[in-house]
Amino acid sequence: MHNAAKIAIVGCGLITRSAHLPAALRSPKINLIALVDSQIENAEVLRNTFALNCKISRNLSEIIDEVEGVVIATPNDTHYPIAKAILEKKVPVLIEKPITTTYEDAIKLCKLAETNNAFISVGYRTRYYPSVIMFKRLLDRAYFGRINHFHYEFGTHGGWAPVSGYNLDREKSGGGVLVVSGTHFLDRMLYWFGEPKEIIYRDDSYGGVEANCKAELFFENKLGVFTGTFFMSKTTKLKNKFILDAESYVCELSESETERISLSPKNDLDIKMEIYSNTITDNEQKIDYFQRQIEEFAENIHQRGKPTIDGWFAARSVKLIEEMYKKRLQLDEPWIIYKNAAVSEHV
């Protein structure tokens, strides 16, 4: 593993077991030095399951001087204090999304990284998808014509079940479905379209974590004047796709499709075309984007390139989420209204 970056992973829960650790072990660019978890048994289980010879520790301080970079895969509310401690040692970090639960903390980390000549990468792996990059390039070239509207929806029955259960606690997660699932789309939306000028946001949180949320977004920038909507749910199965309505085409990107964009000409919607990036090869069809993400992190440690998603850009989605929650309106819930009405009729 000559010239492989010496990496530690902090947090030994589900995302590390299923994604970050397998990606690190597959890559010749990564030398896994340690697994760190305050619940040491979580690290022990992973070391035994994957037959590793790396160190395990409860405390980051015990191994921080031995590594060149750290992956943080812990509950959202811990990202700031853990990253702060690492950056103070002038060690780069790859933080699982979102960067922090508050915009203020995100900016503090970015400034600390600059002061200490370190850097922050943030784990929005969908930004590495060729389809996402190609869509951005086509937008910038006005390939689709004038933008009219876009709609995104993502919904499942239930969802991610982390070991700590942090996603059910608003203080630990920073929010509900908008943060846990929606932040990936918000990152892509900011990458494609920039910040909206106006927002109308609704959810069903009642002070806790929201299971459903909807928004109307209004844009006015170099791409034009247009609108967008999204619907995100942890209770309802949805189509899980992004649709752009533009002057010349209707464009679709499926949430599960990483390499291709579907197009239909506006003058004949019965025609459906598929376009691919010419950077894709047969071997790359099966690429692991967690591996691409951690390998870019390793390359930047040694060559100091610019991360695809750095801390400053990742802070933008946190700021947008805070703005949405600040403007929150109650989401219509006709099933509750109907139930209450039915009860009142029998009182």
**pLDDT class of 168 with cuts at 50, 70, 90:** low
Summarize pLDDT for 59-76 with one digit per residue, the tens: 999 999 999 999 999 999
pLDDT for residue 251 is more than 80: yes
- Mean pLDDT, rounded, for 131-144: 96
**pLDDT class of 165 with cuts at 50, 70, 90:** low
* Spatial contact of 6 and 66, defined as CB atoms under 8 Å apart: yes
pLDDT for residue 161 is more than 80: no
Residue 164 to residue 179: CA distance in whole angstroms: 16
What is the reported pLDDT for 343? 40
What is the reported pLDDT for 166? 55
Residues in the chain: 347
Q: Do domains 5-124+291-310 and 127-278 have the same CATH topology?
A: no
Query: Domain 127-278: which CATH class?
Result: alpha beta
In CATH, what number does 5-124+291-310 get? 3.40.50.720
- Mean pLDDT, rounded, for 236-253: 96
Residue 327 to residue 38: CA distance in whole angstroms: 36
C-alpha neighbours within 13 Å on the C-beta side of residue 214: 10
* Spatial contact of 77 and 173, defined as CB atoms under 8 Å apart: yes
What distances in angstroms separate CA 325 from CA 23, 77, 170, 229, 330, one per listed residue?
A: 34, 17, 12, 16, 11
Lowest pLDDT segment from 36-40, 163-167, 207-211, 231-235 = 163-167
What is the reported pLDDT for 345? 42
Question: Where do the structural domains in the chain lie, given as residue ranges?
Answer: 5-124+291-310, 127-278
- Nearest one of 22, 17, 38 to 289, comparing CA atoms: 22
pTM of the model: 0.91
β partners of residue 251: 244, 263
Residue 45 burial (CB count, 10 A) = 16
For residue 98, say if its preceding peptide bond is cis, omega within 30 degrees of 0: yes
pLDDT for residue 311 is more than 80: yes
Residues whose CB is less than 8 angstroms from the CB of residue 29 and which lie 6 or more positions away in sequence, other chains included: 4, 5, 295, 298, 299
